[in-house]
Chains A and B, each alone.
Chain A
Amino acid sequence: MSAGTLVVGTINSGASAPLVLESNNAAALTLDTSQNATFAGTAAMSSSFKRNRIINGNCAVDQRNAGAAQTITAGAALAYTVDRFYAYCTGANVTGQQVAGATANQYRYQFTGAASVTAINFAQRIEALNCADLAGTTATFSVDMANSLLTTVTWTAYYANTTNTFGTLASPTVTSISTGTFTVSSTVTRYNVQIAIPSAATTGLQIVLSVGAQTSGTWTIGNVQLEAGSIATPYERQIYSDQLAQCQRYYQAGKFGQGGYILSSTAMFYQQSFAVEMRTAPSMATSSVSSTNLNTLALNPYSGQFQIYGVGASTAGAYYYGNFTATAEL
């Protein structure tokens, strides 16, 4: 029988028999007698099944900058941008900012080049809990990109040498998995690549996108996805509140406060929960702080909550309040 197109309203396997569709002489899709579907390969779906291992891939959550432009300082430590993503550059400072995307793509992240820039990098580290199962398999990385100046974007995948420990830019503790390039244009286009994840890569992954001398123009990135299998499926969209909570495992901001009547030289603390349990006990910073009659002010962070601590300067009313950030990034 020759190849062709069969147009038919109903295909019936008959009683007590499954319906099997084959490709390349092998069963591809089996519908059993209870109407369950079994795929031999990957089902490329337009709906969400939590398959994206990249958090905030569509750049919608921007807790640190709230859409404002930020300066990425050349040669400095990595700088976090939209949530979960970080950037670093060489040669000269560049500007990065969450920008509006087109139609269904509400947000993207965009770098604006500058004279003397020699490289820009945009990356995410993935916690081992969210990617250890990819070890020893093929994964697919997909991303929307455009560049108004350059035509080459390099991607590189790494895994951490020890669980969730990637080191610093100056002293990285990672092993390279593979690298390659995308040839890009000034029109936002979706690119994908298959990556063979080694069996040793159970310790967390790091995906880095890089460009060279972005001395002018813009580099736009969005809808970043890493998924199991060798098929690039459509970008997985999530409810914003779910995505925000995923980001808050690594970074969150809020307000803290305590007040009361305290005896001189005695300690008091108030315990406050984080919005989301964090990856580990975070580093905390404060701003817009106001306090009275308290010394030795401190915040004691744990993964699920933090203590607001102070020692009474005298026997009187006391308070300590302000804004906080908590960081438990990888």
Chain B
Amino acid sequence: MYTNAQYYNNTLTGQSPAGIRCDINGVTSFVPIDPANTDYQNIMQLVDEGKLTIAPAGA
């Protein structure tokens, strides 16, 4: 469900990271760094379980 996850930055606002770019069911999506966002919750759970890795920004 969640694949190709990578952090992205916003050099204008200085947010680093500004969010996570990933494919959700094959659709490229931008997920905010927000514990109340259910996609962010799910991504972090997968990371904790070792099932998903988030690439650093710009990698």
User: Which residues of A approach B to under 8 Å, CB–CB?
Assistant: 77, 164-165, 168, 171, 267-269, 279-287, 296, 298-302, 307, 309, 311, 327-330
Shortest Cβ distance from residue A87 to the other chain B in the assembled complex, whole angstroms: 15
Query: How long is the Cα–Cα vector from A282 to B24 in the complex, in angstroms?
Result: 13
B42 lies within 8 A of A168 (CB): yes
B39 lies within 8 A of A283 (CB): yes
**B42 (CB) vs chain A CBs: closest residue:** A168
User: Which residues of B approach A to under 8 Å, CB–CB?
Assistant: 1, 8, 10-13, 15, 18-19, 21, 24-25, 27-32, 34, 36-42, 45
A328 lies within 8 A of B37 (CB): yes
Query: How long is the Cα–Cα vector from A123 to B34 in the complex, in angstroms?
Result: 25
10 A-B residue contacts at CB 8 Å? A281-B36, A284-B29, A285-B28, A298-B21, A300-B15, A300-B18, A300-B32, A309-B10, A311-B11, A330-B38
**A309 (CB) vs chain B CBs: closest residue:** B10
B18 lies within 8 A of A269 (CB): no
The 5 A-B pairs of least Cβ separation, nearest first, read A281-B32, A280-B36, A267-B12, A281-B34, A283-B39
Which residue, of B1, B28, B37, B40, has the highest number of chain A Cβ atoms within 10 A? B37
B36 lies within 8 A of A279 (CB): yes
Complex partner residue of A164 from B21, B25, B31, B36, CB under 8 angstroms: B36
B45 lies within 8 A of A283 (CB): no
A298 lies within 8 A of B8 (CB): yes
B10 lies within 8 A of A327 (CB): no
A298 lies within 8 A of B30 (CB): yes
CB-CB under 8 A from A283, the residues of chain B are 24, 29-32, 37, 39-40
CB-CB under 8 A from A330, the residues of chain B are 38
A298 lies within 8 A of B18 (CB): yes
**B25 (CB) vs chain A CBs: closest residue:** A77
Query: How long is the Cα–Cα vector from A269 to B28 in the complex, in angstroms?
Result: 19
Shortest Cβ distance from residue A299 to the other chain B in the assembled complex, whole angstroms: 5
CB-CB under 8 A from B30, the residues of chain A are 283-285, 298-301
Query: How long is the Cα–Cα vector from A168 to B28 in the complex, in angstroms?
Result: 20
A280 lies within 8 A of B34 (CB): yes
CB-CB under 8 A from A287, the residues of chain B are 27
Which residue, of B19, B30, B42, has the highest number of chain A Cβ atoms within 10 A? B30
